[in-house]
Structure 1
Amino acid sequence: MRMILLATDFSERSDRALRRAALLARATGAELLLVHVVDDDRPRRIVEHETGDARRLLHDLGHSLRNHDGIRCSTSIVQADPFAGIARAATEAGADLLVIGPHRRHLLRDAFAGTTAERVIRTAACPVLMANGPPVGPWRHLLLTTDLSDASCAALRRFADLKVGAGAARTVLHVFDAPALRLAMAGTLPEDARGTYLDDQRAEAAGRLTEFLASTGLSDAAPIVRRSGAPPAHEILGAAEEIGADLLILSSVGKGTLARAILGSVAAQVLASALVDVLVVPPPAPQKE
């Protein structure tokens, strides 16, 4: 990994993301680019005043990272819509990873959908890390998720190329469906028949996951399967809590139970509710002929 871009608004949430980005930069030797976007859809005097303040704050942050943390660091200010500015900065810098802070959590409603964070994650060409957990050290346990699709396979390989999480335990989750138990007549099935059917579906899902891991070079990861009895996001968060994962890895493109409307319902729910770091990885862009 050569370039990590941190999008900061100088809030406490952004400070958490900054410390995680600094840990990753130090561990991988990557350069860290600090970016602040000034919303330019306001009176010019306000934009210029905020730009000046941001320039001084970024200078101090960059100086501290270079001199106290020993990290190669540069800074940039972009005048644009926050979402567009972050996405453009990541593309222009050729960022391998974009780090953002957690979104503001509301007690009465989920305010994730439609936020700058959601728009950035949904459209970014590079992996995006939402730093939710306390950045006290390297990750200890990674939970990777897959729907066994080709797109998910490509995303997991792209995650491997980032070379982050070295030394951490790795678990791969596949949420499987048991369609017969969703049918109207499922309630008429005898209990033993339901149990046998579910065991067969679980064994089949476990076999497919084992084959998938072998094909993606993740044979050393611990496979787990869970039935999609609850919404997929709940299964992901439940599995993460059970194994003590401190980083969740999701693919931004896929099909089936786990990836249905990813960055529609599933990923938005995970990102809105997760108390640990979440990394959303798009598959590599198609090679141009």
Structure 2
Amino acid sequence: MIEQLLLATDFTSRSELALDRALVLASGQADKIGALHVIDDTVSTALLRGEESAAPPILAELFDARLEPDAPRPKILIRKGDPFEEILAAADDRGDDLIIMGAPRRRRFLESLRGTTLERVLRASSRPVLSVRGPAKTHYRRVLFATDLSEASGFALQTAGCLGLLDGIHITAVHALWPPVPHMVADRRIPSDLAQKQMAAEKAEAKREMEGFLSGLTLGPLRIDSRVIEGTPHMAIRDCIPDFSPDLVVLGTRGRSGILRLMLGSVAEDLLSWLPVDVLAVPPEDTARPQNAKHHPRKP
């Protein structure tokens, strides 16, 4: 389960959705949350705080509107510098189990070159990162697990389970089968009927491999429906959204195809921009963690 988590906020409506999700995941223990806001080096911290001994007024108001008067409050963290660097540093200093951020906005010019803050955090983080887009009225109920059948991919789903995100929910696992055969048909290199038979055989083999992969994961008594879909990873995920109506997509940031790594920064609209639901991105198990981290997330 989650012992403590880091909420990165910039006071936008996107961050408010992330705050609501953080409170749900904290299960009534708001003091598990570290609420981080990063300001520019040229801005005085005192201007944001009002009084040095008090929490930033805008953050205090957000919490007061959501928590009972006598309920514990999240720890307020104010840092100066590059948001990307300070978010990672704060998570390392605290040893958080999870980083929560709002979904990315439309990219500005410089962000199109180096990525949004969220994308940069995802590339470098040694901890799971949750990008929040939807409202957080309840715990997650339907999860779409995007897998390339790699060890890193399996670790992503196991990590979601360890964080308590899979308890009592419906899980659909989807594996993308990129079809080279139809391209050969288009080039008239093989007959279409032979291509269809070959693709059917490849799909059946992928289905068997996927079922073996899922059965080998340590997940407890979870029921997982599996699907093999022809197409690229992002096409498969996109096509599953209307069919399964998930409120969370779980994926690893590296693996056979490096699903998220391939998407980030490589196309105008990546997964985080167009997916209408929350996304949990999990780095590989062997990702190095800083020596000064207070504790590490529990391993599956």
For the criterion TM > 0.5, the same-fold answer is yes
- Give the 3 Å change call, closer, same or farther, for CA 28–233 of structure 1 in structure 2: farther
Q: CA deviation at 1:167?
A: 1.7
Range 29-38 or range 94-103, more displaced? 29-38
Aligned partners of 1:208, 1:69: CA distance in 2, in Å?
53
Which residue identity lines up with residue 49 of structure 2 in the other structure?
G
Q: CA deviation at 1:268?
A: 6.7
- Secondary structure of the corresponding residue to residue 137 of structure 1: coil
| Aligned residue runs from structure 1 range 146-161, under 5 A | 146-161=147-162
1:127 is the counterpart of 2:135: no
Aligned partners of 2:62, 2:276: CA distance in 1, in Å?
26
Aligned partners of 2:245, 2:198: CA distance in 1, in Å?
30
- Corresponding residue of 1:280: 281
C-alpha contact 2:112 2:265 (8 A) present in aligned 1: no
| Aligned residue runs from structure 1 range 204-219, under 5 A | 204-218=205-219
- Secondary structure of the corresponding residue to residue 224 of structure 1: strand
- Corresponding residue of 2:45: 48
Q: CA deviation at 1:23?
A: 0.8
Q: CA deviation at 1:255?
A: 1.8
Greater share of helix: 1
C-alpha contact 1:34 1:76 (8 A) present in aligned 2: yes
- Secondary structure of the corresponding residue to residue 122 of structure 1: helix
C-alpha contact 1:141 1:247 (8 A) present in aligned 2: yes
Aligned partners of 1:115, 1:128: CA distance in 2, in Å?
14
Aligned partners of 2:269, 2:95: CA distance in 1, in Å?
25
Q: CA deviation at 1:89?
A: 0.8
Aligned residues: 281
- Secondary structure of the corresponding residue to residue 129 of structure 1: strand
- Secondary structure of the corresponding residue to residue 127 of structure 2: coil
Q: CA deviation at 1:225?
A: 0.7
* Length-normalised TM-score, structure 2: 0.82
Aligned partners of 1:96, 1:225: CA distance in 2, in Å?
31
- Give the 3 Å change call, closer, same or farther, for CA 30–74 of structure 1 in structure 2: closer
C-alpha contact 1:100 1:128 (8 A) present in aligned 2: yes
Query: For residues 154-186 of structure 1, what are the alpha-carbon distances to aligned partners after superposition, in whole Å with 9 as ceiling and x for unaligned?
Result: 222222211114222001111123333344775
- State the structure with bigger RCO (CA 8 A, min sep 6), 1 or 2: 2
- Give the 3 Å change call, closer, same or farther, for CA 98–122 of structure 1 in structure 2: same
- Give the 3 Å change call, closer, same or farther, for CA 220–29 of structure 1 in structure 2: farther
Q: 5+ unaligned residues in a row in structure 1: which ranges?
A: none
- Give the superposed CA RMSD: 3.0
- Secondary structure of the corresponding residue to residue 261 of structure 1: helix
Query: For residues 84-131 of structure 1, what are the alpha-carbon distances to aligned partners after superposition, in whole Å with 9 as ceiling and x for unaligned?
Result: 111111111111111111111369xx9596111111111111111111
- Give the 3 Å change call, closer, same or farther, for CA 286–5 of structure 1 in structure 2: closer
- Give the 3 Å change call, closer, same or farther, for CA 62–285 of structure 1 in structure 2: farther
- Give the 3 Å change call, closer, same or farther, for CA 259–4 of structure 1 in structure 2: closer
- Corresponding residue of 2:118: 117
Q: Decide which of 203, 226, 230 is 1:227's aligned counterpart.
A: 230
1:4 is the counterpart of 2:8: no
- Corresponding residue of 2:24: 23
Q: CA deviation at 1:238?
A: 1.3
- Give the 3 Å change call, closer, same or farther, for CA 123–249 of structure 1 in structure 2: same
| Aligned residue runs from structure 1 range 57-72, under 5 A | 57-62=58-63, 67=68, 70=71
Aligned partners of 2:18, 2:70: CA distance in 1, in Å?
15
Q: CA deviation at 1:50?
A: 4.3
Q: CA deviation at 1:275?
A: 1.1
Aligned partners of 1:259, 1:183: CA distance in 2, in Å?
28
1:241 is the counterpart of 2:242: yes
- Give the 3 Å change call, closer, same or farther, for CA 248–95 of structure 1 in structure 2: same
Which residue identity lines up with residue 143 of structure 1 in the other structure?
L
Q: 5+ unaligned residues in a row in structure 2: which ranges?
A: 290-300
- Secondary structure of the corresponding residue to residue 26 of structure 1: coil
Percent identity, aligned pairs only, is: 33
Aligned partners of 2:66, 2:135: CA distance in 1, in Å?
19
Query: For residues 24-56 of structure 1, what are the alpha-carbon distances to aligned partners after superposition, in whole Å with 9 as ceiling and x for unaligned?
Result: 11178881111111121x3xxx33354325723
Q: CA deviation at 1:235?
A: 1.7
Aligned partners of 2:251, 2:47: CA distance in 1, in Å?
35
Aligned partners of 1:168, 1:24: CA distance in 2, in Å?
15
* Length-normalised TM-score, structure 1: 0.85
Q: CA deviation at 1:215?
A: 0.7
Q: CA deviation at 1:236?
A: 0.7
